[in-house]
Amino acid sequence: MVKFNDDPILPNIIELRDICQSYDNGKTNVIEKLDLLIEDKPLQGQFVVLLGMSGCGKSTVLRYIAGLQQPTSGTVLVNNKPTGHDNRVSMVFQQYSSLPWLSVLDNVALGLKFKGVTKEERNKKALEMIEWVGLKGHEKKYAQYPILSGGQLQRVAIARSLMSNPEILLMDEPFGALDVETRQSMQSLLQDIWSKFHTTIVFVTHDVAEAVYLADDIYILKKSPSHIVEHIAVDLPLNRTHEIKKSSRFIELQREVEEKLMDTLKKA
């Protein structure tokens, strides 16, 4: 079982056990014997990054945790319960997921509307979140491109996800389509989110530098069939700025992760 550490006291927040995903009536296994155990760190949360070549199942793992897909066999638990049992899990996709016919305010407040919160109360909370993610002044604009930039649309999606007070925030390459400057700004926002909300974040990316900068644990998946083959603990300070990317330890970790990632090609 792949896990974060050997402390038996911490409760599990996410557990994937002996996961198999097959197609063609069982003739093709795309995921086989995949294990992942993420423990809950009180007042800190976890920041987990999944790395691997395209098609290795990273996004599928997120869908398992979110309850959007069930594996062919194996066990998926969130807070020791099967997915879908009132677990507080939110997901942010690479594609812009805001409803373009609604304003930024209405998008961010949408979850509270479904919960029956009064308009006055949900708008008050949504405006606070909009300001916190750096979108103050944009609340009346339609949440669509090009009225808002790509980075702003992802801020809307993140704000909407946080409004549901999730224990787990799943992010599937959310910054992949952004320019370098915007991407760095979003990485800083995500660091702030983790520090403020103590959420367990599971983040998929192809960018090794981004993985090292954000994560406290990195897992590498191989293809054909997929399972976790490497775990790298990122021994950098929890509170990071982009200056840390110039440090010798950051550069060493980035090189280590790149080498292990390339080694997975040999294991395919």
Does the residue 52 lie in any domain? no
Does the residue 153 lie in any domain? yes
Nearest to 97 by CA among 107, 87, 84, 109: 107
At residue 5, the pLDDT reads 45
Helix axes 180-197, 150-163, angle to 10 degrees: 10
| pLDDT, tens only, 115-159 | 889 999 999 999 999 999 999 999 999 999 999 999 999 999 999
Does the residue 107 lie in any domain? yes
- Residue 266: which residues within 8 A CB-CB, separation 6 or more? none
Peptide bond into 71 cis (omega under 30): no
Q: What's the whole-number average pLDDT of the chain?
A: 89
Residue with tokens 């994560």: 215
Radius of gyration of the chain (CA): 19
Q: Which pTM value belongs to this model?
A: 0.90
Local structure of 218: helix, strand or coil: strand
* Structural domain boundaries enclosing 124: 96-164
CA angle 29-35-39, nearest 5°?
150
Does the residue 144 lie in any domain? yes
Q: How many domains does the chain have?
A: 1
Does the residue 127 lie in any domain? yes
